[in-house]
A = this chain, B = another copy of it.
């Protein structure tokens, strides 16, 4: 193994100079830096991560808690995760994968062993049991998701409330008077997952404000047909549906068609989901984008700022961005 002293010898300088040349923490003459870089290249030197972590008190590793619980949409979660990894690499950090199972203990462990410098936590509940821990930990952390009380924390997320409102208001503008929300599976609400709850709030409030009749339906994957039938039965005047359930978008479209409803002629559909998904189904869906890549990126960048000692806002809510596609149209009064 080639180490810093080897590089130093080859470049004709001291190890500390190599270190400073690498970190830039003290001025080094251009000529010396060049010699050091050459030596590094020639020898194929790579600093030892453990030694670095020990001496520098920084491991350059972030922990990411990936939620893989019942009811979540795995591909969507992985979009966040990939964005986090990619952005972390841009900032010269690696990402340690923790599963939800490990829970509070896992977070404590990686924090206290100094395995990681910082934490990113996904799938936040309104009253998440991990919040006290995160507040007390000496390590900086960022939540992807907005709990009920964000004091003393740092959170990033899409403004789901505004997203749901945007969907409803879009339907209202098109003349719809009766709308329904097809949501995530029931267990997601039982856990009081923050984003799901906010969508319900935004949806209901906006519908009330617009004087629309509305209903909310948590929905299992695979239950598309059942929900569709139920909707038509219980809410015969229904002409607008907001879908907040990635797995159901396609099936729901099929189910409505199967029941003889044309989208958007008889029924307008909007969704909150990744743009790619909205574009890839049979009838492209008017949707508020779920900007996973941007959220992941922001999370890492906020963390980097905190690591650098900069103050950051407690909550960063990305404004909803709606794209009109083929699935929504004016209500046709029959």
Which residue numbers of A lie inside 8 Å of B, CB to CB? Answer: 44, 46-54, 59, 61, 64, 68, 74-75, 78, 81-82, 85-86, 89, 94-99, 101-102, 109-110, 112-115, 222, 250-251, 254, 280-282
The answer to whether A222 touches B89 (Cβ under 8 A) is: no
Chain B residues near A251: list those with CB within 8 A.
250
The answer to whether B49 touches A59 (Cβ under 8 A) is: yes
Q: A75-B75, A96-B61 are in contact. Are A86 and B114 (CB under 8 A)?
A: no
The answer to whether A280 touches B94 (Cβ under 8 A) is: no
The answer to whether B82 touches A78 (Cβ under 8 A) is: no
CA distance A49 to B51 in the complex (A): 10
Nearest first, the 8 closest Cβ-Cβ pairs linking A and B are: A50-B53, A50-B54, A49-B115, A46-B112, A74-B75, A97-B97, A49-B113, A50-B50
CA distance A234 to B18 in the complex (A): 69
The listed residue with most B CB atoms (<10 A of its CB), out of A50, A52, A96, is: A50
The answer to whether A101 touches B113 (Cβ under 8 A) is: no
Q: Which residue of B lies closest to A59 (CB)?
A: B50
CA distance A179 to B146 in the complex (A): 51
Chain B residues near A59: list those with CB within 8 A.
49-50
The answer to whether A78 touches B68 (Cβ under 8 A) is: yes
> What's the least CB distance linking A252 to chain B, in Å?
13
CA distance A281 to B220 in the complex (A): 12
CA distance A95 to B97 in the complex (A): 6
The answer to whether B97 touches A110 (Cβ under 8 A) is: no
The answer to whether A96 touches B99 (Cβ under 8 A) is: no
Q: A113-B47, A281-B222 are in contact. Are A89 and B102 (CB under 8 A)?
A: yes
For the A-B complex with A74-B78, A96-B96 known, give 18 more contacts whose Cβ atoms are closer than 8 Å. Answer: A47-B113, A48-B113, A48-B114, A49-B113, A49-B114, A49-B115, A50-B50, A50-B52, A50-B53, A50-B59, A50-B114, A53-B53, A74-B74, A74-B75, A82-B99, A86-B99, A222-B281, A250-B251
> What's the least CB distance linking A120 to chain B, in Å?
12
CA distance A68 to B254 in the complex (A): 28
